[in-house]
Amino acid sequence: MLKVTGDPALLPVTGPLPTDLNAFLSAVENLSNGYNIAEQTCFHKTTVDHLIRSLRQISTYYKNLAILLNNSTQLVNSSTQLLPQSATVVGTVSTLVGSATTLVATVTGVVSTIVTLVTAIVANITAIRTGAVIAAVAAAAAAVTCALFWVPGVGAVALAIGATATATLLAVVFVVIWTNLNSVLGSLGSLTTTLGTLPPVLTPVSAALTGVSGSLTTITPTLNTVGAAVSGIQPPLGSNLVAVNQTVALLDQTVAVLTDFLNPTPPGQPIVPRRHLEDTYRQAVKIYSDALNALPGVSNPVWNAMLNEPENSSQVNPGGTLDRSLRCSPPPARG
């Protein structure tokens, strides 16, 4: 900021005024006002620029938060639907496990019964096989007897041949029955052995199913509790998501307004006073530049005295070179 010199010899507070005081003071006043307004506008531009950048960053954070809230809401909604279904599935599985446990117990009993029945069948078939052997031997003996005790004559010979053939055929049938019964007994023996291995296997299966049933019983209340808690999260998530989206919209709108305030009036549009910082800055620089061109240089004692003021010299005449452009200094780097 520049100040007009207070040298009483040039600008006396009282007494006679210099002859051309108004003539050379108007340019000095314009120069001082133009510089001071340009300087203040540069500060405001830097402040607004930093504010815009900060608001954009905050808006980005809020947009990411909105995405997170939206994903969380969808997850909670899915969980709300999934948890009751999971509880239903657990209940169904629990019922299934109970049925399987009952079935295993039933199968174990049936296997024991089958083993008992097969054992009885084996005993009966063994007896039948023994009877078949006896019958075969008896039939063979009858065949021999019939062959030996035949009556002389043609009729007697025919009778002897028929009796012999019948007895021989019976003997063959009983031998075949005996052979087949041996095969059946072998198969039944293998079946009995296989069935005998099932109960030791089914016993731990039944115990494991009982444990699973107990675990499933404890899972269902837990799922119901979690489902109730998740349902309570839904309303806050929904309202917070709405609030975050509204905040994002407000931040973006504020950024747009501040950006418009920072930039100059678009080409082709009329300038509205005090609406755009860049317009004010450019107007101030022009006033300052026009004042410099209007001053008669070294012949203006007021301007020369102003340049010699320590406060002014460091601002408008840095390094001994008169600053005519009044460019705004770049804003400091943000950490």
Summarised one tens digit per residue, pLDDT across range 56-114 is 999 998 889 888 888 887 777 777 777 676 767 767 766 776 676 677 677 667 767 77
Out of 180-184, 258-262, 326-330, least confident range: 180-184
Q: Look at 2-16, 264-278, 320-334 and tell me which has the smallest mean pLDDT.
A: 2-16
Residue 181 burial (CB count, 10 A): 17
Mean pLDDT of the chain: 73
Contact 308, 2 (CB under 8 A): no
In this predicted structure, what is the pLDDT of residue 257? 93
3 has a pLDDT exceeding 70: no
- What pLDDT does 295 receive? 72
Is the pTM higher than 0.75? Answer: no
Looking at residue 282, its pLDDT comes to 92
Quick one: pLDDT at residue 206?
64
Determine the 3-state secondary structure of 258 from DSSP.
helix
What tens digit of pLDDT does each residue of 224-275 get?
676 676 677 767 777 888 888 899 999 999 999 999 999 999 999 998 888 8
* Helix axes 21-148 and 301-308, enclosed angle (nearest 10): 50
Tokens 């939206």 sit at which residue? Answer: 70
Torsion from C-alpha of 125, 129, 134, 136, nearest 10 degrees: 130
C-alpha span between 83 and 124 (Å, rounded) = 60
Provide the pLDDT for residue 264: 93
pLDDT exceeds cutoff 70 at 324 = yes
Average pLDDT over residues 27-37: 83
Least confident of 74-78, 138-142, 316-320: 138-142
Q: Are 37 and 9 in contact (CB under 8 A)?
A: no
Q: Which pLDDT band, with edges at 50, 70 and 90, does 146 fall under?
A: low
**1-6+21-322 in CATH: which number?**
1.10.287
Rounded to 5 degrees, what are φ and ψ at 263?
-80, 165
- pLDDT winner (highest mean) among 28-37, 204-213, 289-298: 28-37
Range with the poorest average pLDDT among 19-23, 221-225, 323-327: 19-23
296 pLDDT band, cuts 50/70/90, is: low
pLDDT at position 291 over 70: yes
Task: Provide φ and ψ at 10, rounded to 5°.
Answer: -95, -40
173 vs 263, more confident: 263
Percent of the chain with pLDDT over 70: 53
E strand map for 178-303:
none
Tokens representing residue 288 in the block: 């300052």
Query: Which tops the pLDDT comparison, 41 or 236?
Result: 41
Would you place residue 15 in the very low, low, confident or very high pLDDT band (cuts 50, 70, 90)? very low
The string of DSSP codes covering 230-243 is HHHHHHHHHHHHHH
Q: How far is CA 82 from CA 20, 78, 226, in A?
A: 92, 6, 11
More confident residue, 322 or 122: 322
**Biggest alpha carbon–alpha carbon distance for the chain:** 195
Of 117-126, 244-253, 261-270, 286-295, least confident by mean pLDDT is 117-126
Q: What is the pLDDT of residue 250?
A: 92
* Res 145: pLDDT: 63
Nearest to 86 by CA among 200, 186, 226, 212: 226
